[in-house]
Copies of this chain bind each other. A is one copy, B any other.
């Protein structure tokens, strides 16, 4: 559409150019802008260099110019001074911000240096944007344009944690007020268990029906999961758009209930934590090929000690026998990567650790160890619970790390389905 609002991102920092830091900010900002109805059009990454910054500001053509980086207290941070030059202004000390900086350092038991206090010096003609997580304030500048909202330049710190909070709490709402972009209603549905192309085939007819509802679908794949994002422009009455998206999301839930594990930013390990807490139940793990990765996913969730008691990593067969009670003839007869061993690992750890549920994995993560019958990527997964043990055979493609990741998520999803059954 011709009256769309466009944005350009200028990422400043030598460390980005030489690969010392990967520019994750630009992608995050682009995603957020899109959700607010603003189209990210280009990202320019440059060094901490006065002339490069001036050139970038001078040639920017989008409605919104978001600048990150170069706001630290050290000599090589020159963004603020260069902005003063570009916007033909000077720095003024803000007493309230200085007091906040002093307080911040004192809370760490340290005295601020002059360079720290100087972070309270800000361009006279900008609107100061508060930094709720650090000492470098953001700056909002406007350049008037005839007949439409002025072009906006916003300078923010490059620390992702600080920039993200500033964007969400202050910059995005202010941009919405300034430009009144079309409202976009969106909903992100999280799936696991099918790759992108197989998933697309499975929901093809449903996807075709979205056009009639003016809903766009995006596939956002990452190892082990595919996010499906539904989005639509809202009419004057936004609730009608919510209703349209909601209806289609519910249709999808009925179509692939076993593949959907959550919505939004939730992770599968968080969903499991919620389900186990609700039920007041506990979990233990027995891992072979995943070597602790499933436990790591579970324990990455704060508060997981409420339902996770522990686990056994049985890399060697001796550990499978002694810690999990796998009979040696079972290992000899079936091999370590087999259904009976996976199931016995699950029941063994469940009994030893006396939990309500247990999950076990045994497989071949590669690159070595594969055979024609059991190639690399073969993984047996078992879940034991109050109502018995259940298992599945997975074949995971890719490299060692991808096989570990894919089988871990499949195991968590098998447990999720059992909890909900």
Contacts and interface: CB of A to CB of B under 8 A. Distances in A.
Interface of A: 16-24, 26-32, 34, 40-47, 52, 218, 220, 285, 287, 290-296, 298-300, 302-305, 308-316, 318-319, 322-323, 352-354, 365-369, 400-401, 404
Contact of A315 (B22, B44, B309): B309
10 contacts: A18-B27, A19-B27, A23-B27, A42-B45, A43-B44, A291-B298, A291-B308, A300-B400, A310-B313, A311-B313
B323 A310 contact: yes
A17 B45 contact: no
A291 B293 CA distance: 9
Interface of A is mostly: mixed
A305 B291 CA distance: 10
B302 A292 contact: no
| Interface pairs A-B: 5 shortest CB-CB | A291-B299, A292-B295, A19-B31, A292-B292, A19-B27
A289 to B, nearest CB: 8
Contact of A404 (B24, B287, B300, B401): B300
How many copies, total? Answer: 2
Contacts of A290: 296, 299
Given A300-B401, A323-B312, A46 B42 contact: yes
B293 A352 contact: no
B21 A23 contact: no
A24 B26 contact: no
A368 B220 CA distance: 33
B295 A291 contact: yes
A1 to B, nearest CB: 15
Contact of A309 (B319, B353, B366): B319
A163 to B, nearest CB: 14
Given A22-B27, A299-B315, 16 more contacts: A16-B43, A18-B27, A18-B30, A21-B27, A22-B23, A42-B46, A42-B47, A285-B313, A291-B300, A292-B293, A295-B296, A302-B400, A310-B313, A312-B313, A312-B323, A318-B354
Contact of A353 (B22, B34, B40, B319): B319
A291 B304 contact: yes
Contacts of A27: 16, 18-23
Contact of A316 (B18, B45, B292, B310): B310
